[in-house]
A and B are shown apart, each in its own frame.
Chain A
Amino acid sequence: MVVRALPFVGDDAVLVTAVRAGNRAAIAALYDRYEAHVMRTLVRVLGADRELADIHHDVFVRALGSIDELRDPGALRAWLTSIAIFTARTCILRRSRRFWLRLLPWYEVPEVEAPLPNSEVTEALRATYTILDGLPVDERIAFALRFVGGMELTEVAEACGVSLATIKRRLSRAEAHFTEQAREHPALSDWLEGSARWGAPKKR
């Protein structure tokens, strides 16, 4: 006879209470409910990243470690989004410090990743994150959440834990930097020339 635990049932507030009490089924349910959302958020910010699985794991470990600090259990999703963004941000900053240190011996010119033969969208995707890699981390995050993630400005501001005005400033700078570089990039320039290939944009 196989005995299986019953799946956890309840809304986010109930779920948070159970996770705080150490209920394993609740922890599993937390993971199942939000693993895809967290992964999507990380992918938006980081792009294709070799460490995605580890960073994804870190987000949930951090969430479990600080679940007692969540004031409004009903806002679990937004809270997890913030943790994912914070974790991705830490990762980017850690790497940029490493990269800086690694650059000091000038003769270590980094390897250039050979592009795979891919479709134009994949080329555009890769080129987008190549440019985003060069932006300041906060501008990069704002840009990725707004344009790639399709989030509203208020959602971006909430996820980043800053005011709407700050997000607008960051987006404005990011947009200018990105557009300037994208126009020079063969895989992106067509996209910025007003091609309506994919139909008129929707208001988001």
Chain B
Amino acid sequence: MGSSEEALIRLGRRIGAEQDEILRRRAPDPEARARLFTADAARRAHPSRQTRKRFVGAALGVAAAACLLLCFVVAQRPLTFHVGAGEGAYAGRAGAFIATPTGRMVPVVFSDGTRLRIQPDSSVRIASVDRAGGRVVLENGALEATVVHHEGTRWLVDSGPFEILVTGTRFHVAWDLAAERLTLHLVEGSVVVAGPILGEGIALRSGDTLEVNRKEGRFVIHRDNPETREAPDVPQNAAEPPSLPEDPPEKTTDAPPPPAPHVPRAAPPRKTTLPPAPPGPSWRDLAASGKYKDALEAADREGLGAIYEAGSAADLRDLGDAARLTGDTARAVEAFSALRRRFPADEQAAEAAFLLGIIAFDKQGAHAEAARWFATYLRERPRGRLAREAAGRLLEARLRSGDKPLAREAARAYLRDFPGGPHTEVARAAAEDE
């Protein structure tokens, strides 16, 4: 058995035990049997109707399947594409890597009419194509895209760590790998851009230019209609109604595409700069959506000291969790310590004790200290929701720190309070180890 499989079995066993515990606590459904009787009675009352339904259904199913099969075969064919122009053009395949030379632009034309103009000195990979679109990776440089909209069109353009979701639109995008700068100018249509700093997705409309400086953790949207769009869209789950009036597309077709990364080429739009801090979604939003590293960075920009002193118990807990889950032990300890200092009677403070124990145990190998934290949790919340876990960890911590008498005591307490828990075997062994 490989170590990976062993790890998965360990993980699965813990998860299964947790699920069993959740199921054990589940409230019984007194109506469930009655509903089953009703459903069964209805089934028995209409057996012939069911049979007829099955027959008609089967006949219709065969006919529909034949039609669908035909449509499916036609519709599932992935798009094809050609790289280059004129006699030098060649058929490309998914996975194709295209590096353009200095001073020469290379066009890529897809069978649905979508066109890319890869700017000089750029590296692009056509990562995949399917029947509705594809995924293009701009590794460095710039490209101009004209995506033709069809029903179900879905194109993704990855530029460094940023993802641009497109249905039908025309835009220029430049990604400077060394400077970690993304510039995207939307000529027409609308796109959603997601990635670091931007969160789950920021919607752009025609005329918008987005500039992201990843190194500085900032982004700016230049907009040419400040009356209606003074503030940038809320990045978190930004949804843009398709019926929103769009700005007239800029006159760009007569001019050559801009060299990367200088965009836009139309009349310079009026600039809307974000307030200095914090750009993008708040650290709370980022933490809530599981983007712990980004959350921590955002909290850092906001000022960790201020959060420690003025944040709520829930804030400190979330901040501590974000730090813990990204491996930033020092900040996790700071946040949980602040939580315990400022809200000593809060449930979260007790759980912070448990988590400080986890950090001491897992990250610092400080088993005696970990044992003190787990004991603190059990003293403060003997019937808390983490009590079983804390009791098990207390036992482990005492075993690891070599304190046999205290380990025996913890083992007996565990067997008494949580018989059948996941540490039962360890506890039995420790309790009998005289």
Contacts and interface: CB of A to CB of B under 8 A. Distances in A.
A170 interface: no
B416 interface: no
Interface of A: 22, 24, 27-28, 31-32, 35-36, 39-40, 43-44, 48, 53, 56-57, 60-61, 64-65, 103-112, 114-115, 117, 119-125, 128, 146-150, 175, 178-179, 182, 186-188, 190-195, 197-199, 201-204
Contacts, number: 160
9 contacts: A53-B29, A61-B39, A107-B190, A109-B238, A115-B288, A149-B16, A175-B4, A194-B6, A199-B425
Contact of A188 (B11, B37, B154): B11
B402 interface: no
B308 interface: no
A148 B16 contact: yes
Nearest to B290: A115
A197 B396 contact: yes
Interface string B10-23: 11111110111011
B7 A192 contact: yes
Contact of A150 (B3, B16, B18): B16
Nearest to A104: B152
Given A43-B23, A192-B11, A186 B326 contact: yes
Contact of A61 (B36, B192, B318): B36
B277 interface: no
B240 interface: yes
Interface residues on B, range: 35 or more
Contact of A36 (B23, B152, B425): B23
B385 interface: yes
A35 B190 CA distance: 50
A65 B13 CA distance: 34
A106 to B, nearest CB: 5
B19 A44 contact: yes
B314 A179 contact: no
A96 B29 CA distance: 28
Contacts of A194: 3, 6-7
Given A31-B33, A114-B288, A125 B19 contact: yes
